[in-house]
Amino acid sequence: MMREIEEQPEALARTLGEEFGRIEQFRRTLERRPPSVVALVARGTSDNAALFGRYLLEMTTGVPVSLAAPSVLTLYRARMRWQGALVVGISQSGESRDINLFLEAARRGGALTVGVTNEASSAMTRVADEVFLVRAGKERSLAATKTYTSQLLMMYLLAYALGAPLEPRWLKKIPAQAARALKHTSALRALAERCRYMDHAVVVGRGLNYANAFEFALKMMETCYVVAERFSSADFLHGPIALVERAFPVFVFAPPGPTWPGTRAMLVKLRRLEAETVVISDATNASSFDYAPRAIRVPGRMTAPPGLPADLFTPIPYIIPAQVFTALLADQKGLNPDRPRTLTKVTKTV
């Protein structure tokens, strides 16, 4: 898992270098055939990438985006009307049967379909109209890390294809941001040691980092066996904050930008409750570190193009130290994060 976390800058650079030309061609296709709606369909970690895609695509393109429920088709046999839609399936292996069945049905129903996968010879590549590969290389650990960040990158590229004002020169900075995020792991090791006996936690994020709250919690559940709930900061204040008492662990993504005022108000409440709060942020929002006793400090400063949200490019560099922390926490607990109990790399649900 650690080795694959460290491979992420190269995986991101490779994905950009090898797929950007095809994305440019797809952009021209969408100019001729602009979708009225986008549906993203995925499971597990890929579904967390889809959740990020929903926020990003709606925010930067104005096209309505839904997260599709595969069981509506596979279990309930609903017949959907897909004319004018773009349906995007996301799967690390490309072998998730319910995702591929959904793509097939959407294509028959009139949708333009796209597959996003790490496997060039998978079943997904045979059922979608267009296929884009995340060039992460073989992922041997059961805990997906480099494929997740590569899928996030693919969502940026899809937004660009849909007409988002994301200049290529900004997208090309992402691998370097990921490389910086891998520095200063000694502080993460100390934090993991402190959290060695943690068996429950809450992870909070909002907006573009809401998906990271789901992904960070998922990694703690599947590799460290920590019961980790995940919430938007807005939803957290509407009831679940009642869980929090003194020393209760709460991990909070606190980027700069539109979500910060609400996050700051929540951090003030957590401080009054004496929670064991860990803020995940960077120097662009350095004041966030004043609101919590612990921090995962993301190296570097995350900036966005003028006119776009300040947190636009935070999700990839913010999740990487969280991945490192999870791997180190598993080690502290004497667990093997590469082989979580009862899990397999490919889950074929219908």
The pLDDT tens digits for 118-162 are: 999 999 999 999 999 999 999 899 899 999 999 999 999 999 999
What is the band of 348 on the pLDDT scale with cuts at 50, 70, 90? low
Task: Report d(CA 39, CA 58) in Å as an integer.
Answer: 11
From the CA atom positions of the chain, what is the Rg in Å? Answer: 20
Question: Token pair for residue 10?
Answer: 């190269």
Kindly state the DSSP code that residue 135 receives in the 8-state scheme: -
Across the chain, what does the average pLDDT equal? 95
Least confident span in 25-29, 75-79, 254-258, 265-269 = 75-79
Per-residue pLDDT, averaged over 58-74, amounts to: 95
pLDDT score recorded for residue 9: 98
Per-residue pLDDT, averaged over 242-262, amounts to: 96
What is the band of 215 on the pLDDT scale with cuts at 50, 70, 90? very high
Task: Report d(CA 85, CA 182) in Å as an integer.
Answer: 38
Task: Report d(CA 324, CA 6) in Å as an integer.
Answer: 9
Query: What are the boundaries of each domain within the chain?
Result: 2-172, 176-332
Looking at the predicted structure, is the pLDDT value of residue 323 above 70?
yes
Task: Report d(CA 117, CA 253) in Å as an integer.
Answer: 27
**H-helix segments, the chain:** 2-6, 8-32, 44-61, 70-74, 97-108, 124-127, 146-161, 168-171, 174-181, 185-194, 210-224, 233-236, 260-272, 315-332
Is 2-172's fold the same as 176-332's?
yes
pLDDT score recorded for residue 174: 97
Looking at the predicted structure, is the pLDDT value of residue 344 above 70?
no
CB of 64 closer than 8 Å to CB of 38: yes
pLDDT score recorded for residue 186: 86
What is the band of 346 on the pLDDT scale with cuts at 50, 70, 90? low
pLDDT score recorded for residue 343: 65
Pick the CATH number of 176-332 from 3.40.50.10490, 3.20.20.140, 3.30.200.20, 1.10.730.10: 3.40.50.10490
Minimal CA–CA distance to 348: which of 87, 129, 48, 100? 100
Give strand pairing partners of 202.
229, 250
Give the predicted TM-score (pTM) of the model: 0.96
pLDDT score recorded for residue 12: 98
Task: Report d(CA 20, CA 23) in Å as an integer.
Answer: 5
Per-residue pLDDT, averaged over 279-304, amounts to: 94
Angstrom distances, CA of residue 293 to CA of 95, 228, 230, 235, 289: 43, 20, 20, 23, 8
Task: Report d(CA 94, CA 155) in Å as an integer.
Answer: 17
**2-172 homologous superfamily:** Glucose-6-phosphate isomerase like protein; domain 1 (3.40.50.10490)
pLDDT score recorded for residue 298: 96
